[in-house]
A and B are shown apart, each in its own frame.
Chain A
Amino acid sequence: MAQLASIILYCLTQLNGERTIYSIFHLLNGKKSSQTIQDAHLFSLKNFFGVYEPLSRESFEEIIQWMQESEWICNGGEQRFLLTPAGKSFLGNHPLPEFLNGWDYHPFTTQFWERLSLFIQVTSNLVFQESRYIPIQKNKHVHQWLKSVLKEIKVPRKEMGAIVYSELVECFNDANEIDPSLLVFRLTGFQQIGLTASQTAKRLQLEYHDYHIGFLNTLHYLIRKISDNATRLTVLAMLIHDLKQENELTLSSRKTQKLLNQGFSPEMIATYRQLKLSTIEDHFVEFALNVDDFSIDTYVDSELQTKILEISNHSATKKLKLIREKVPAATYFQIRLVLAKYGDR
Chain B
Amino acid sequence: MELESILEKHFGYHSFKTGQKEVISSILAGNHTLAMLPTGTGKSLCYQLPGLILKGKILIISPLLSLMQDQVEQFKRFGEKRVIALNSFLSTEERNHVLSSLSSYKYIFLSPEMLRIPFIMRRLQDLDISLFVVDEAHCISQWGYDFRPDYSKLGDIRQKLGNPLTLALTATATSKVREDIIASLRIEEINKIESTIDRPNIAMYVENVPDYHDKQDRVIELVTNLQKPGIIYFTSKKAAEQMASLLVDKGICRAMPYHGGLDQNSRILIQQQFIFGQLDVICATSAFGMGVNKENIRFIIHYHMPMQMESYLQEIGRAGRDGLPCIAVLLHSPGDEQLPIHLAEGELPSEQQIDWLFKRISNEQRLMDVRVQLPNSFKELGGFSDIQWRMVEDFVNSPHRHTSQLEELQADFKKLIKERLIVKKKNIFQMKKWVESTLCRRELILQYFDETLSGKIPFCCDQCGLKLNDYQTGQQTLTLKENEQLWKDYLAKILTNRELSK
Contacts and interface: CB of A to CB of B under 8 A. Distances in A.
B500 A187 contact: no
B77 interface: yes
A184 B265 contact: no
Interface of A: 120, 123-124, 127-129, 131-138, 158, 161-162, 164-165, 168-169, 172, 179-181, 184-185, 187-199, 203
Contact of A162 (B73, B278, B495): B495
Contacts of B73: 134-135
Contact of A123 (B272, B486, B495): B495
B273 A184 contact: no
Given A132-B77, A203-B483, A195 B269 contact: yes
A188 B272 contact: yes
Contact of B495 (A134, A161, A180, A193): A161
Contact of B501 (A136, A137, A162, A168): A162
A184 B278 contact: no
A161 B501 CA distance: 11
Given A132-B77, A162-B501, A127 B496 contact: yes
Given A138-B264, A162-B501, A193-B278, A187 B272 contact: no
Chain B interface: which size bin? Answer: 20 to 34
A165 B492 contact: yes
B256 A185 contact: no
B266 interface: yes
Scoring B493, B495, B496 by chain A CB atoms within 10 A of each residue's CB, the highest score goes to B495
Interface of B: 69, 73, 77-78, 256, 264-266, 268-270, 272-273, 276, 278, 483, 486-488, 490-497, 500-501
Given A192-B494, A196-B266, 16 more contacts: A120-B494, A120-B495, A127-B500, A128-B497, A138-B268, A161-B497, A162-B495, A162-B501, A165-B495, A180-B487, A181-B487, A185-B490, A187-B491, A188-B269, A195-B269, A196-B256
Q: Interface residues of B: mostly helix, strand, loop or mixed?
A: helix
Nearest to A192: B494
A127 B269 contact: no
A196 to B, nearest CB: 4
B270 A196 contact: yes
Given A138-B268, A181-B487, A196-B266, A162 B496 contact: yes
Contacts of A188: 269, 272, 494
A180 B270 CA distance: 22
Contact of A193 (B276, B486, B491, B492): B276
Contacts of A185: 487, 490
A190 B491 CA distance: 11
A190 B266 CA distance: 18
Scoring B265, B266, B278, B488 by chain A CB atoms within 10 A of each residue's CB, the highest score goes to B265
Given A136-B268, A194-B269, A184 B487 contact: yes
A155 to B, nearest CB: 13
Nearest to A172: B487
Contacts of A133: 77
Contact of B493 (A169, A179, A192): A192
Scoring B268, B491, B493 by chain A CB atoms within 10 A of each residue's CB, the highest score goes to B491
25 contacts: A127-B495, A127-B500, A132-B78, A134-B73, A134-B77, A134-B272, A135-B73, A138-B69, A138-B264, A138-B268, A169-B491, A185-B490, A187-B490, A187-B491, A188-B269, A189-B495, A191-B276, A192-B493, A193-B269, A193-B273, A195-B269, A196-B256, A196-B270, A197-B266, A203-B483
Scoring B73, B272, B487, B500 by chain A CB atoms within 10 A of each residue's CB, the highest score goes to B487
A191 B278 CA distance: 10
Nearest to B270: A196
Given A127-B497, A193-B278, A136 B269 contact: yes
A156 B69 CA distance: 32
Contacts of A198: 266
A172 to B, nearest CB: 8
A108 B281 CA distance: 36
Nearest to B490: A184
A189 to B, nearest CB: 3
A23 to B, nearest CB: 27
A68 B447 CA distance: 64
